[in-house]
């Protein structure tokens, strides 16, 4: 019985740790990287800088509010 409780607790701790790592990865990756929000940087690979400071392609990045790159 004690072994089952220990295994359950270990599993719960592991799940929480993995969720925390995933959250930290998303938060650190989701920082603005261009334009006024990203310290004035520009995007590489001919990408657009969106109005929110993220690099990418398509209407969300190159359309209305585009800060740099091949905006349209």
3-state secondary structure (DSSP) of residue 4? helix
Which residues neighbour 4 within 8 Å (Cβ) at sequence distance 6 or greater?
none
Q: What is the mean pLDDT of residues 20-32?
A: 68
Same domain, 4 and 23: yes
Q: What is the pTM of this model?
A: 0.59
Least confident interval from 25-29, 53-57, 61-65:
25-29
Spatial separation of the C-alpha atoms in residues 64 and 12, rounded to whole Å = 45
- Across all residues in the chain, what is the average pLDDT? 88
Domain span at residue 20 reads 1-30
Same domain, 36 and 50: yes
For residue 1, what pLDDT is reported? 59
Whole-number percent of the chain with pLDDT over 70: 89
Tell me the CB-side half-sphere exposure of residue 8, using CA atoms within 13 A.
Answer: 5
Same domain, 4 and 17: yes
């Amino acid at each position: 019985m004690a072994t089952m409780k220990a295994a359950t607790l270990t599993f719960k701790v592991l799940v929480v740790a993995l969720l925390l790592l995933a959250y930290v990865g998303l938060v650190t990756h989701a920082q603005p990287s261009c334009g006024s929000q990203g310290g004035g940087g520009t995007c590489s690979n001919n990408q657009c800088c969106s109005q929110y400071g993220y690099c990418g392609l398509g209407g969300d990045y190159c359309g209305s509010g585009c800060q740099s790159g091949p905006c349209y």
